[in-house]
C-alpha cells in the first residue's frame, strides 16, 4: 500500500513570496490533515478535511494560508505572502475516518525555509 505522498520535499523562498504544497493521501482515506511542525515542537493541526469539506480550520492563519481538497482526494496548501515565522515542516496526514484519531498516517513533509 502506497503511503502519503508530498511534494516538494524542500522549498526555500524569500519573505513575501508565495508557495504551494501538494499532498496525495492513501487511497480510500476520506480524512486529510495538514500540520505545521516548527523545529523543536510537535505538529500543530492547521486544517482537517472530510472528503472535500472542511471539518476544522480553527488554527489556520486565514489571512495568508489557504487550502483546498478538490474531488476529495489530493490537497494543496498555499501561503501568500510568506513570513519568516512560517519556516517549518508542513506535514500531510490521512485516515480512513475521523473517529479514530490514532489511525493517522503521515507523509514525509515539506521543509519550508523563508529567508
Partner 1 sequence: QKEVEQDPGPLSVPEGAIVSLNCTYSNSAFQYFMWYRQYSRKGPELLMYTYSSGNKEDGRFTAQVDKSSKYISLFIRDSQPSDSATYLCAMSPPGKLTFGTGTRLQVTL
The three three-digit cell numbers of residue 80, written as one number = 501568500
Query: CB 1 → partner 1: shortest distance, Å?
Result: 14
Residue among 19 and 95 whose Cβ is closer to partner 1: 95
The three three-digit cell numbers of residue 28, written as one number = 480510500
The three three-digit cell numbers of residue 48, written as one number = 482537517
Given a contact cutoff of 8 angstroms between Cβ atoms, the answer to whether 40 and 27 are in contact is no
Query: CB 66 → partner 1: shortest distance, Å?
Result: 20
Residue among 21 and 43 whose Cβ is closer to partner 1: 43
In a 3-state reduction of DSSP, which class is residue 53? strand
Query: CB 16 → partner 1: shortest distance, Å?
Result: 27
Residue among 17 and 106 whose Cβ is closer to partner 1: 106
The three three-digit cell numbers of residue 9, written as one number = 520535499
Q: Tell me, rounded to whole angstroms, the distance of Cα 102 from its chain centroid.
A: 17
Query: CB 30 → partner 1: shortest distance, Å?
Result: 14
| Residues lying near partner 1 in the complex (CB under 8 A) | 4, 40-45, 48, 56, 91, 93, 98-99, 101-109, 111
Amino acid at each position: 500500500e502506497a503511503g502519503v505522498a508530498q511534494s516538494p520535499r524542500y522549498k526555500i523562498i524569500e519573505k513575501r513570496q508565495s508557495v504551494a504544497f501538494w499532498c496525495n493521501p492513501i487511497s480510500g482515506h476520506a480524512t486529510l490533515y495538514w500540520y505545521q511542525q516548527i523545529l523543536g515542537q510537535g505538529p500543530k493541526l492547521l486544517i482537517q478535511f472530510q472528503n472535500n469539506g472542511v471539518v476544522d480550520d480553527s488554527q489556520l492563519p486565514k489571512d495568508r494560508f489557504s487550502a483546498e481538497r478538490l474531488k476529495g482526494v489530493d490537497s494543496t496548501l498555499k501561503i501568500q505572502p510568506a513570513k519568516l515565522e512560517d519556516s517549518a515542516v508542513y506535514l500531510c496526514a490521512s485516515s480512513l475516518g475521523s473517529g479514530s484519531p490514532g489511525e493517522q498516517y503521515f507523509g514525509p513533509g515539506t521543509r519550508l525555509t523563508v529567508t
